[in-house]
Every structure is written in C-alpha cells, then in structure tokens.
Amino acid sequence: MPTLPHPVSSLPTPLGGQLIGRVARAEPAELAGLPRLELSERSAADLELLATGAYSPLTGFLGEADYLSVIEHLRLADGTPWSLPITLPVSRAAARGLRGRVVLTRDGAAVGLIEVQEHFEARRAWEAREVYRTEDEAHPGVAALYAGGEINLAGPVTLFEVPRGAFAQHHRTPAEVRAVIEARGWRTTVAFQTRNPVHRAHEYLHKVALELVDGLLLHPLVGTTKGDDVPAEVRVKAYEVLLDHYYPAPRTLLSVYPAAMRYAGPREAIIHALSRRNYGATHFIVGRDHAGVGSYYGTYDAQEIFSAYSAEELGIRILKFEHTFYCQSCGQLVSPRTCPHDASHHLVLSGTRVREKLRGGEPLPAEFTRPEVAEVLRAAYTAPALAPGKVAPV
C-alpha cells in the first residue's frame, strides 16, 4: 500500500527551523550528589520558555558570544534575529561550585537541569544602557538586572515538567498551541500580548485584526510583573468573561504566556513577536508603547525597531496600530488616523487613573471597558471583609 504524504502545515516554521523540545523527567537517583541552584522567578520562567521551544532556537541560557552579539547587534552570533539576552546570573562565589550538570530548583524542589558549559562576566552597565536604554534603577528591568549576580552561567537546559500552575486550563506549550491552530484549520493567526487588563481599545484591535486573519490568539503574559500591575489571575478572569459574551469562540483561543516581564520596550517587542512565531502565529499586534514603562521609550519605538530585520528573517507579520480611544463626538472607538477631534473630545484613562477609580469605588465608563470586565476589576480592588478605607492587596 502506498504511503500517504503528510499534510503540509500552513503554520510558520519556528525560528531556527525546528521547535526546540527539552522537557524530560529525571529519576531522583540521577540527581543525587549534583550541585543545586535555586532559580529566581524570572529565571524559572525562562527555563520553561527555553525547554518548551517558545525561545527557539535557543536550547539553553546564552553563552558569551551570543550574549555580546545580542546586546550589540540584536542577533545571535550566527546572525539569527534575537534582541534580549536570556542569561542565568549567579553570584561570583556561587559560580565557583557550579560546573557540569547542575540541578535547578524552585522553592527547593528540583525543576530542571543545566549542563554548565561557560562562566562569563555579566556586563551589567552596558547591558542596561543598550537593552533598557537607561542605567536608572527605578526602571524595573534595570533593577532586576543589577539584583542578579555578576557571573552568567551558560549551557543547555532540561525542564522536568511543564508547570501549569494557576492557569492549567489555558497553559499550553508552543507545540500544544500549534496543534489547536492546526485542528481548527486556521491558515493565519494573529497573536496579542498584554500585561494590562483588557479594555475596549484592546477589543477594537483584536476585531480589526480578525477581519484580516482566520484566528486570534489572546496570549496574556502571566509571569512576574512590577508590583503595581494588575495580577495575572485578575487579567485572565477579565479575558474569560469578555470571551464568554463578545468574541466568536471558533476563531479565538485564550492561552497564557508564562514569561516574566522585563519592560525592555522595543527590544522586548521583538522577542514577543519571535516567540509568538514559535507558538504558530503568522501575525503579531504591536501597539502604542509595547512593553514600555514610564517615559523610557518613545511612543512608537517598539514598532520602528522591527526595521532592523527583513520580513523573511522575522517570519511573522507585524500589525502596527496607533493609539486608539473613545471619541465622545464620533461616538465610537477611533485613532488619530480616523478622528478629526482634539483631545478634549477623547476618553482616555491611564492605568494609574483606572486604579485610582477602582480604589475609590468609582465606576469605569462603559466606553472604556465592558461592564463585565469592570466588575471583575472592581471585585479585585474591593474586599468587603476589610475595614472601611482598605482595598484588596492587588
């Protein structure tokens, strides 16, 4: 009987040509006597993204040649596009005892292995200037960088088990997301990343994009964020209630992105796009101040930086949107491209102002966010059991 040919996938090829997979269980006896290294929350997130292929073509934490090339050229040493140094920093004292196979732990439990092949000096001041465009430790990414050790360990990693955590229903590896996309027959998929609660402007971007493609991958980041960001469980709940009422279920997939937030603005936008290519997306939305914080980056720097690569290198199409908002005179969501009215006609609420309203018990305007989402946020910021004047520790 003749062998039937395998169907040709319409999904983009992972960066580097294949999806990395380095998840494998280990027997306790294999780990006996090996040195151990406790991971930070950010490094644990990186371990998962490396091992599941979200960071393909990386197989582990960067060596020195790749580290230097990424910082200076936004490419790995072999020329592959890559914009953030994915490193494993340790103290100089700790580094002396970490050679060969090292057990990686989280809260004392073994979660993976690294085959340490290199120790090299972290150029933290240079990295801060080039990657974050500042050495100001008020920047959360710079603060995390300086809080790490002086030495970076490099080498391939193994993850023992994918940590599904609090979002088991929505926590999918790149291979699993790709399988869903293929099962649904989507030939084109747009991915959307956010660390903020969903609001009407987000919904507008999603639905404009859905006019162009077959499916929408809503991919909220659920790793470490700065202390005043809305917690991941609240943001995911807001997506769930929104999807229940306002999105076409066959054309929408909610799945969490387990990365830690670095707030690296333009550089982080590139990684967000490349990793979504690895998840199977053909398009990626980049809006106003993507992955930004404070005033460290220009409003559209995260869109402009993609000109550093050709379309073929990126392998994912970038959909660039301007700032969108509700215009009271137009009576709808608009952007500077479509609205003739000045700012006095616009309803624009910053994240800070939203939190102030919630803490003060004020309702959020329906033009800003759906009532169902507003209720999720209100509940998160209100704790009836607390004394008057207190708010839930969000």
Residue 231 to residue 165: CA distance in whole angstroms: 14
Sign of CA dihedral 309, 312, 315, 319: positive
Name the pairing type of β-strands 189-192 and 215-218.
parallel
Q: Is cis: bond before 57, omega within 30 of 0?
A: yes
Angle formed at CA 271 by CA 355 and CA 278, multiple of 5 degrees: 115
Q: Based on C-alpha coordinates, what's the Rg of the chain?
A: 22
Catalytic residue among 195, 200, 267, 370: 195
Cβ atoms of 114 and 153 within 8 Å: the answer is yes
**For this structure, is 195 an active site residue?**
yes
Dihedral of alpha carbons 259, 260, 261, 264, sign: negative
196 catalytic per annotation: yes
CB-based contacts of 273: which residues, under 8 Å, 6+ apart?
A: 284, 286, 306, 314, 316, 318
Coil, helix or strand at residue 358: helix
Q: Among residues 164, 184, 196, 317, which one is catalytic? A: 196
Contact 316, 223 (CB under 8 A): no
Could you list the active site residues? 195-196
